[in-house]
Structure 1
Amino acid sequence: MSSDEPKPEEPVTKADGLELARALTRAVASAAPVARAKKRLNPKKWTRPEVSGAHPDDRDPQLLDATLGRLVQDHGWGLDLKVHGVLARWAELVGAEIGDHSTPESFADGRLVVRADSTAWATQLRLLAPDVVRRLNTELGHGTVIQIEVLGPVGPTWKKGPRSVRDGRGPRDTYG
């Protein structure tokens, strides 16, 4: 045949959904034996992630400890959990006597806020602050706690009532 001669017309078929599905099925069926042959030739390179085997993988049930550890690490909650764990053991770390008369209130940006139940204990805790910071940093890591702010007790307000004086100093007792 020369290039000048007209080519015989091929039958024109309309590619509808059924024809496309049949063609796709034929293509997949012809490719499947090749994959099986690859498995027989080199089993180490051919893996199917959707098939479970005898070896553990990520789809197997995981231990709660490992899962929680991964969750804490992914979200960056490690330091917060350490701080809350140390604050839960406050009396153990600072001593039973100081722990009975003070409570940690908050921790943010290296600053620990502690509330004492009397002004005398607040003064005592301010004097012991460097030792407490050192002890907390051994538990949490160097430089975690930078400063301890000690607050005194919270007393009732004397700003309202029948016997209040405007700009008055109020009582000078700390109720403790």
Structure 2
Amino acid sequence: MSDADGIPETIATYLRLRGLEPSMAKKRRRRKRDDDENLPFAPGRDPKGVGDLLADLTRQAGWDPALAREDLVLQWEEVAGAETARHAHPVALGDGVLTVQCDSTAWAKNLHLMRGVILTEIMARFPDAGVQNLRFVGPDVPSWKWGPRAVPGRGPRDTYG
């Protein structure tokens, strides 16, 4: 290093040979950059783990709500309980309402009574999922009223007994 100017000897030699003097503005700017940026133990200089980097990436990309909804579906058994998960599973999430389809209407009614407990658990574990309410529905049954061969009136149910 050059003693007088605080710049490397090679640059000082080049400037001397070209007949130029180092400017003071360059020195001031350089000193400013060297203050905190190159200190070895400055805050923010520690290496980050891969998990921290991925969490920052997903947060910046806006993927947190979608990932939280996916985690909710994947961890439904832990949220609702093993027995409940065997008889009910989430099928839709829209406008803050999680729709859960049950094996029977009896399970749907029982889970409707337990809605507060399940909703509290979901909100505690997955706050980014955006679940504000739960809707429990019974099994999916075929409808006789829709389709290309639908008949007005009572239709095929007349033969049921």
Report TM bin, short chain: 0.5 to 0.7
Residues 64 and 128, structure 2, Cα contact 8 Å, conserved in 1 = no
TM-score by length of 1: 0.55
Q: Which has the larger radius of gyration?
A: 1
Residues 66 and 129, structure 2, Cα contact 8 Å, conserved in 1 = no
Residues 91 and 101, structure 2, Cα contact 8 Å, conserved in 1 = yes
Structure with higher helix content = 2
CA distance in 2, matches of 1:81, 1:131: 23
Q: CA deviation at 1:86?
A: 2.3
What amino acid is the match of 1:135? E
CA distance in 2, matches of 1:99, 1:108: 20
The change in CA–CA distance for 1:45 and 1:109 in structure 2 (over 3 A counts) is same
> 1:129-148, aligned counterparts within 5 Å?
129-141=115-127, 144-148=130-134
Q: How many residues align?
A: 133
**Residue aligning to 1:115:** 101
Unaligned residue ranges in structure 1 (runs of 5+): 1-28, 48-52, 56-60, 172-176
TM-score by length of 2: 0.59
Secondary structure of 1:99's counterpart equals helix
Secondary structure of 1:34's counterpart equals coil
**Residue aligning to 1:19:** none
In the TM superposition, structure 1's runs of 4+ consecutive aligned residues that sit over 4 Å from their partners are 29-33, 41-44, 159-162
> 1:1-176, aligned counterparts within 5 Å?
34=22, 44-45=31-32, 64-141=50-127, 144-159=130-145, 166-168=152-154
Deviations 1:61-96 (A, max 9, x none): 975423322221112222332232122111111111
Q: CA deviation at 1:147?
A: 1.1
